[in-house]
């Protein structure tokens, strides 16, 4: 928790710590948005032991909800956000109902399958640009006011939503719902013996995760003002998974830390050389070898001692 | 070869090599050069980049006498990456012009972010019909052509050759659809079949089977970069070379090194070929080959021209780039000598120029190039100019 | 003819998937970097062929070269991950992919490379009126089938093969019985790396040799091993052929089929989308009926 507080405090102060320019704020926004999506995935992976490689599809659904409504000239966030969340919830409910009947590697492959199906569908929608993507006419308005167009306002909006999602997850974890989920992750057999059927709990977790990703999708569409089908590709799902693993599965703060770390390190390295992946790859490997509890785990250790 | 580090500082430009998120502004001009340098189509982006850099070399690293720095941006042929990087170039690096773009979908994605920020976008290759017509923009120029135009040249050439039954094969994206539309503008025969393939297609066996079955008088195809490499090789392997191969951007110098003998005798339509005799062109081709070791294609030639175009424009406004209207007028004047011959801008800020039928040939030194066969269209205005509603 | 292409693509997939399924089955190690092994094989093949001036020498030398690379990777990275959980393996091997894709770009450039078809296998043979099928593709088919047969013989009929099968079924038990599983692992890994490299060299003349070429093959390889059953060579073979056929036939026939009921524009769109989805739909269907794959090797 202390780690999370530190991170949020830094993010809040960031505009005055040298990140005040438009580009830097966009960078942090991307990090925070990735964090929101990663939080949802963490609920599945760390909270329920379900490794999903189709999470990007939910994010993409949120982004494309913005696109579809933008094309229909509806830009009010008060309409767009509920629509996006609902769309993702329905998709998660339908696909989760099927996917959760499988376990292990099969579950991973089924989530890939659904993710790919969403991706190919988005790619074939020539109306919304297909493979070439869609440029938004502008960011979403809030009740008619164009507040989100201001970089600083957008920054704090993202931060507020990130904190909200984080708190929501902590609440869920501490509740009975969270405990059943975690117990089912350890041993589904024992949980069933006690009389709980893990299936509806997992399905609910799947839907909540999907909705969080969709929220991230809406914010991403607003941040870049451009949406492409590649937002749903399996490589992006992989990226989200890596962020969660890299950050550490111990708690939701891992997702946030992992997301910010990835975005910032990428930016730093790509500045140094165009072959930055030559450094990034080994860094990832070293992180796995020497930080078994992820970056958050490592940092938390430092904070405890320091 | 590949420059280590994203910035290629040239001639006396102040080099900003310090990483970090707060950047100081240099006094010179900054150009953001966008091209695909990764993946199957990397050869095309490399041509574009090297053509521009060759132009800068001939200009001593200065535009209009002012030291110029070129930031090379690899769009990876992914629109979302391109948007991200171009936005960074405009907001963080504060480039004065965005130049480049091989592919139309990338241009389409970055068009609004660039023009809405009041930065000039000069396309040296992509020329989609949407941006030539109704989507024309005072901040957008093209120094290449409108895509449909080049394809219409092949349509005209096909008609002139007496082709009655044509088979069409293109990739499934906007430029591919433009190709078909452009070809049909001037081709008056029958279209036996129209086949669209994914941009990532590697294996054309299905399509080649269809062509063999249909036995057309000629094949018209538009397969840029890696697509063309595979198609040409597999076409020749499948024994279909007796069917005339009429193409655009499929057998250009960027891919000829990979296609080699497989492409001999195949046709192409273009604004330019390396064997054009003008002194500007000969100097360009000679120094380009000496400096980069390979034969330039139109991607390089247009980028080279753009350097001279901007040089003339900056000179005309005396280096004062803040007056955007003056800069626009200066660019429109197109007061430079193009390697292609006569060049001027139309009302939609797209070029008005000659077009040629070309054929692949093998040079004495073993390298391959396209050579002009005959002029097909003269000082042609693209068909979308009329739709452009720009006031000036 | 499309069926032949599908089979040929399937055979290539099998070569890659075989190594993947063995490594996953016997060593319980998810090796995402298997795709880059395929890519390395292709690049090494191209360079060695260019250096020696002959495709055959290139192929012959590339195999041990790819094997060496695989062993180096194993010693540097993979060895430390066997005891870790799958997620850690996934993240680390992803790091390897990033690094190798970039290394290849740095050393060979990001533009695709060209590998000429050997003179012996050039040209086509007429299999239908007016249509020639390239000899080289038939060679790939033949080579793949031969390798599959050799693998089958090895696995089913030799002692080493029996050990591998036992390992795929229950590795801890095997270790408890006194077999040196460390050596077995290295053998399995080495074979897998060589197979992937071999597939890479064979594919080089007809497919594009470029950074990232392994990624598309990788995900299809995973689909193959899941359909076939993890740890099963027989399963991988059958599944690879199925996937190859579905992928090729689906992409080419579906748009035409749809044109029967729709207008060309939407048919093209829907056809493209559905055609690509077909493999995943097939996988989902097969998993619904046989959750452990067609020929599961794992016991219990």
Asked if residues C204 and C115 have their Cβ atoms less than 8 Å apart, the reply is: yes
Residues of C in contact with A235 (CB under 8 A): 215
The class (CATH top level) of B148-273+355-380 is alpha beta
User: Is B315's pLDDT higher than 60?
Assistant: yes
What ipTM was predicted for this assembly?
0.78
Residue B355 CB neighbour total at 10 angstroms: 24
More confident site: B153 or C9: B153
Q: Which two tokens stand for residue B390?
A: 């720009």
Cβ under 8 Å to C: B residues 143-202:
172, 194, 196, 198, 200, 202
User: Do B7-147+277-353 and B148-273+355-380 fold alike per CATH?
Assistant: yes
Scored b (16 or more CB within 10 A) or e, B260-294 reads: bebbbebbbbbbbbbebeeebbeebbeebbeebeb
Task: State residue B7's pLDDT score.
Answer: 39
Give the strand pairing for B218-222 and B165-171.
Answer: parallel
Establish if C75 touches chain A: CB-CB under 8 angstroms: no
User: How deeply is A255 buried, as exposed, middle or buried, from its count of CB atoms within 10 A (0-12, 13-18, 19+)?
Assistant: buried
Q: How far apart are CA B246 and CA B286, in angstroms?
A: 28
pLDDT of res. C131 = 59
CA distance A117 to chain C (A): 6
Q: C128: helix, coil or strand?
A: strand
Whether B190 has its CB under 8 Å from any CB of chain A: the answer is no
Q: Does A174 touch chain C (CB under 8 A)?
A: no
Residue C11 lies in a domain: yes
Per the domain annotation, does C244 fall within a domain?
A: no
Instruction: Quote the CA–CA distance of A300 and A293 in Å, as a whole number.
Output: 10
Contact at CB, B92 and A23, closer than 8 angstroms? yes
The residue of chain C with its CA nearest to that of B43 is: C111
- Which region, left, alpha or beta, applies to residue B357 given φ > 0 means left and ψ of -120 to 50 means alpha? beta
Using alpha carbons, select from A230, A255, A236 the residue that is nearest to residue A44.
A255
**Strand pairing partners for B165?**
B190
pLDDT digit string, tens, across residues B78-108: 888 899 899 989 988 899 999 989 988 899 8
What is the pTM (predicted TM-score) of this model? 0.80
pLDDT of the residue at C129: 54
Burial class (CB in 10 A: 0-12, 13-18, 19+), A118: buried
Q: Does domain B7-147+277-353 have CATH number 3.90.1150.10?
A: no
Flag whether pLDDT at B24 surpasses 60: no
Compute chain A's Rg from CA coordinates.
Answer: 19
**Which contiguous run of DSSP H or E holds residue A226?**
strand A226-227
Decide: A230 and A236 in contact? Cβ < 8 Å: yes
Strand partners, C68: none
Q: How far apart are the first and last CA of chain C?
A: 42
Examine the pLDDT at B8 and tell me if it is beyond 50.
no
Residues 6 or more apart in contact with residue B359 via CB below 8 angstroms: B265, B266, B267, B268, B370, B371, B373
Q: Are strands C124-128 and B66-74 parallel, antiparallel or unpaired?
A: unpaired
Of B2, B87, B109, the CB nearest to A132: B109
Q: Which of C35, C25, C44, C43 is nearest to C96 (CA)?
A: C35
Give the closest-approach CA distance of C155 to chain A in angstroms.
24
As a residue count, chain C comes to 300
Does residue C259 form part of some domain? no
> A82: which residues sit within 8 A by CB, 6+ positions away?
none
Measured distance CA(C165)–CA(C162) in Å, rounded:
5
Residue B54 has pLDDT above 90, yes or no: yes
User: Is residue B25 predicted with pLDDT exceeding 50?
Assistant: no
A283 touches chain C (CB under 8 A): yes
Spatial CB neighbours of C231, under 8 Å, sequence gap ≥ 6: C21, C22, C24, C25, C26, C168, C169, C296, C297, C298
State phi, psi for A248 to the nearest 5 degrees.
Answer: 115, 135
Q: What are the tens digits of pLDDT across the range A56-98?
A: 999 999 999 999 999 888 888 889 999 999 999 999 999 998 8
Q: What percent of chain B has pLDDT over 70?
A: 92
Delimit the domains of chain A by residue range: 21-233
Q: What is the token pair recorded at C3? A: 């069926």
Neighbors of chain B with 3 or more C-beta pairs under 8 Å = A, C
**Are C91 and A287 a contacting pair at CB < 8 A?**
yes
Cβ atoms of residues B368 and B350 within 8 Å: no
| CA B111 from centre of chain | 16
C210 near B CB under 8 A: yes
Lowest mean pLDDT among A280-289, B275-284, C166-175: C166-175
Q: Is the pLDDT assigned to residue A264 strictly greater than 50? A: yes
Report residue C262 as tokens: 């729709």
C125 CB neighbour count, 10 Å cutoff: 9
CB contact under 8 A, A224 and B4: no
Residue B209, chain C, CB below 8 Å: the answer is: yes
Put simply, the answer to whether B80 touches A228 (Cβ < 8 Å) is: yes
H/E stretch holding C132: strand C131-134
Q: Which two tokens stand for residue C291?
A: 């959750």
Domain ranges within chain B, ordered by starting residue: 7-147+277-353, 148-273+355-380
d(C-alpha A158, C-alpha A151), whole Å: 11
Residue by residue, what is the 3-state secondary structure of chain B?
A: CCCCCCEECCCCCCCCCCCCCCCCCCCCEEEEEEECCCCCCHHHHHHHHHHHHHHHHHCCCEECCEEEEEEEEECCCCHHHHHHHHHHHHHCCCCCEEEECCCHHHHHHHHHHHHHCCCEEEECCCCCHHHHCCCCCCCEEECCCCHHHHHHHHHHHHHHHCCCEEEEEEECCHHHHHHHHHHHHHCCCEEEEEEEECCCCCCCHHHHHHHHHHCCCEEEEECCCHHHHHHHHHHHHCCCCCCCEEEECCCCCCCHHHHHHHHCCCEEEECCCCCCCCHHHHHHHHHHHHHHCCCCCHHHHHHHHHHHHHHHHHHHCCCCCCCHHHHHHHHHHCCCCECCECCEECCCCCEEEEEEEEEEEECCCCCEEEEEEEEEEEEECCCCHHHCCCCC
Residue C18 forms part of a structural domain: yes
Nearest chain B residue to C213 by CA distance is: B39
Residue C207 and residue B202 in contact, taking contact as beta carbons nearer than 8 Å: yes
Instruction: Please answer yes or no on whether C273 and A234 come within 8 Å at the CB atom.
Output: no
Kindly list the distances between the CA atom of residue A67 and the CA atoms of A103, A168, B163, in Å, as whole numbers in the listed order. Answer: 34, 27, 44
DSSP-derived secondary structure for C57-70: HHHHHHHHHHHHHH
Q: How confident is the model at residue B9 (pLDDT cuts 50, 70, 90)?
A: very low
Partners of C136 on chain B (C-beta within 8 Å) are 237
Residues B360-385 have a mean pLDDT of 89
Judge whether residue A4 has pLDDT over 90.
no
B365 burial via Cβ count (<10 Å: 0-12, 13-18, 19+): exposed
Mean pLDDT by 10 residues, chain C (300 residues): 78 87 82 88 88 83 88 84 81 86 83 74 63 76 86 80 75 76 79 88 81 82 86 85 84 73 67 77 81 68
CB contact under 8 A, A109 and C226: yes
Question: What are the start-end ranges of the H helices in chain A?
Answer: 2-13, 22-42, 48, 55-71, 77-99, 104-123, 151-174, 176-186, 188-194, 198-224, 234-247, 253-272, 277-290, 294-305
**Residue in C with minimal Cα distance to A112:** C280
Rounded Cα gap, residues B226 and C6, in angstroms? 22
For the CA atoms of B371, B373, B377, B381, the dihedral, rounded to the nearest 10 degrees, stands at 0
Tell me the nearest-neighbour CA distance from C211 into chain B, angstroms.
7
Q: How many domains does chain C have?
A: 1
DSSP A21-85: SHHHHHHHHHHHHHHHHHHHHHIIIIIH----S-HHHHHHHHHHHHHHHHHTT--BHHHHHHHHH
Q: Tell which C residues from 231 to 270 touch A, by Cβ distance under 8 Å.
A: 269-270
> Quick check: A132 and B105 CB within 8 A?
yes
pLDDT at residue A41 above 60?
yes
What pLDDT score does C272 carry? 67
Write the DSSP string, C207-248. S-B-TTHHHHHHHHHHHHHHHH-TT-HHHHHHHHHHHHHHHH
Q: Is the dihedral of CA A182, A9, A76, B118 positive or negative?
A: negative
User: Among A140-154, B18-32, B154-168, B194-208, where is mean pLDDT lowest?
Assistant: B18-32
Give the model confidence (pLDDT) of A90-135 as tens digits: 999 999 988 888 887 788 888 988 998 899 888 878 778 877 788 8
Instruction: Answer yes or no: do A281 and C99 touch at CB < 8 A.
Output: yes
B47 touching C (Cβ < 8 Å)? no
In which element (H, E) is residue C124 found? strand C124-128
| C-beta atoms of B5 and A273 within 8 A | yes
Among candidate residues B94, B97, B133, the one with its CA nearest the CA of residue B115: B97
Rounded to the nearest 5 percent, the helix, strand and coil shares of chain C are: 75, 5, 20
Looking at residue C13, its pLDDT comes to 87
Asked if the structure places residue C282 within a domain, the reply is no
């Amino acid at each position: 928790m202390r780690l999370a507080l530190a991170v949020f405090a830094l993010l809040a102060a960031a505009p005055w710590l040298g990140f005040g320019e438009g580009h830097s704020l966009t960078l942090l926004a991307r990090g925070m948005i990735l964090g929101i999506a990663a939080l949802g995935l963490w609920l599945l992976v760390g909270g329920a032991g379900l490794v999903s490689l189709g999470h990007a599809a939910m994010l993409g659904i949120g982004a494309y909800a913005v696109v579809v409504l933008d094309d229909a000239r509806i830009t009010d966030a008060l309409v767009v956000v509920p629509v996006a969340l609902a769309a993702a919830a329905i998709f998660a409910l339908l696909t989760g109902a099927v996917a959760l009947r499988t376990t292990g590697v099969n579950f991973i492959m089924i989530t890939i399958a659904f993710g790919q199906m969403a991706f190919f569908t988005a790619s074939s929608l020539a109306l919304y640009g297909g493979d070439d993507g869609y440029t938004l006419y502008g960011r979403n308005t809030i009740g008619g006011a164009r507040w989100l167009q201001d970089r600083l306002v957008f920054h704090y909006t993202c931060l507020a939503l990130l904190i909200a999602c984080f708190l929501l997850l902590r609440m869920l974890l501490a509740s009975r719902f969270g405990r059943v989920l975690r117990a089912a992750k350890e041993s589904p057999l024992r949980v069933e013996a006690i009389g709980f059927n893990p299936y509806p709990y997992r399905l609910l977790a799947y839907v909540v995760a999907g909705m969080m990703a969709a929220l991230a999708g809406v914010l991403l569409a607003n941040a870049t003002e451009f949406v492409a089908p590649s937002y749903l590709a399996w490589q992006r799902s992989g990226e989200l998974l890596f962020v969660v693993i890299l950050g550490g599965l111990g708690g939701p703060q891992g997702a946030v830390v992992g997301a910010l770390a990835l975005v910032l390190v990428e930016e730093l390295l790509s500045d140094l050389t165009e072959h930055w992946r030559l450094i990034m790859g080994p860094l990832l490997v070293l992180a796995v070898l020497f930080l078994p509890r992820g970056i958050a785990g490592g940092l938390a250790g430092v904070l405890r001692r320091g | 070869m590949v420059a280590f580090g994203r910035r290629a500082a040239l001639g006396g430009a102040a080099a900003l090599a310090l990483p970090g998120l707060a950047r100081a502004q240099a006094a010179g001009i900054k150009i953001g050069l966008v091209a695909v340098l990764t993946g199957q189509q990397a050869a095309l982006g490399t041509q574009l980049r090297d053509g521009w850099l060759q132009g800068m070399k001939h200009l001593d690293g200065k535009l209009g006498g002012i030291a110029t720095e070129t930031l090379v941006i690899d769009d990876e042929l992914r629109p979302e990456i391109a948007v991200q990087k171009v936005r960074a170039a405009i907001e963080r690096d504060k480039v004065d012009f965005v130049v480049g773009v091989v592919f139309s979908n990338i241009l389409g994605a970055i068009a609004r972010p660039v023009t809405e920020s009041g930065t000039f976008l000069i396309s040296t290759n992509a020329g989609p019909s949407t941006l030539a017509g109704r989507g024309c923009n005072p901040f957008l120029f093209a120094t290449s052509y409108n895509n449909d135009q080049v394809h219409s040249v092949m349509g005209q050439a096909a008609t002139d050759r007496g082709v009655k039954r044509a088979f069409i094969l293109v990739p499934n994206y906007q430029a591919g659809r433009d190709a078909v539309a452009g070809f049909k503008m001037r081709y008056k025969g029958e279209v036996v079949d129209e086949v669209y393939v994914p941009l990532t297609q590697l294996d054309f066996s299905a399509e080649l089977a269809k062509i063999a079955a249909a036995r057309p008088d000629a094949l018209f195809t538009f397969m840029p970069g890696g697509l063309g490499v595979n198609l040409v090789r597999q076409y020749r392997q499948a024994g279909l070379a007796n069917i005339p191969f009429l193409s655009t951007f499929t057998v250009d110098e960027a891919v000829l090194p990979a296609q080699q003998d497989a492409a001999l005798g195949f046709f192409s339509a273009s604004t330019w070929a390396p064997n054009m005799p003008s002194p500007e062109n000969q100097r360009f081709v000679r120094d380009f080959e000496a400096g980069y070791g390979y034969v330039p294609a139109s991607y390089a030639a247009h980028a080279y021209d753009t350097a001279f175009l901007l040089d003339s424009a900056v000179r005309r406004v005396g280096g004062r780039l803040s007056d955007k209207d003056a800069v626009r007028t200066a660019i429109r004047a197109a007061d430079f000598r193009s390697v292609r011959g006569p060049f001027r801008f139309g009302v939609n800020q797209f070029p008005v120029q000659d077009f040629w039928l070309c054929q692949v040939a093998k040079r004495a030194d073993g390298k391959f190039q396209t050579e002009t066969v005959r002029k097909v269209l003269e000082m042609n205005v693209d068909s979308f100019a009329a739709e452009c509603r720009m006031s000036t | 003819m499309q069926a032949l292409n599908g089979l040929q693509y399937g055979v290539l997939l099998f070569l890659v998937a075989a190594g993947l399924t063995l490594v996953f089955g016997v060593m319980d190690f998810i090796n995402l970097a298997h795709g880059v092994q395929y890519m390395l094989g292709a690049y090494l093949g191209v360079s060695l062929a260019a250096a020696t001036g002959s495709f055959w020498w290139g192929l012959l030398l590339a195999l041990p070269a790819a094997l060496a690379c695989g062993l180096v990777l194993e010693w540097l990275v993979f060895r430390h991950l066997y005891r870790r959980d799958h997620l850690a393996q996934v993240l680390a091997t992803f790091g390897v992919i990033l690094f190798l894709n970039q290394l290849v770009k740095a050393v060979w450039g990001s533009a695709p490379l060209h590998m000429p078809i050997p003179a012996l296998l050039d040209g086509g043979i007429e299999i239908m009126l007016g249509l020639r099928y390239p000899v080289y593709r038939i060679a790939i088919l033949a080579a793949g089938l031969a390798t599959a047969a050799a693998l089958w013989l090895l696995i089913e009929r030799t002692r080493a093969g029996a050990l591998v099968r036992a390992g795929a079924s229950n590795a801890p038990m095997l270790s408890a019985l006194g077999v040196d599983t460390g050596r077995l692992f290295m053998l399995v890994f080495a074979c897998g790396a060589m197979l992937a490299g071999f597939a890479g060299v064979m594919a080089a003349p007809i497919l594009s040799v470029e950074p990232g070429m392994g990624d598309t093959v990788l995900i299809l390889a995973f689909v193959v091993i899941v359909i076939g059953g993890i740890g099963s060579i027989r399963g991988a073979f059958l599944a690879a052929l199925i996937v190859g056929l579905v992928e090729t036939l689906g992409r080419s026939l579906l748009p035409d089929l749809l044109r029967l009921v729709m207008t060309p524009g939407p048919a093209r769109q829907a056809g493209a989308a559905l055609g690509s989805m077909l493999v995943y739909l097939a996988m989902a269907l097969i998993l619904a009926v046989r959750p452990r794959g067609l020929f599961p090797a794992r016991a219990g």
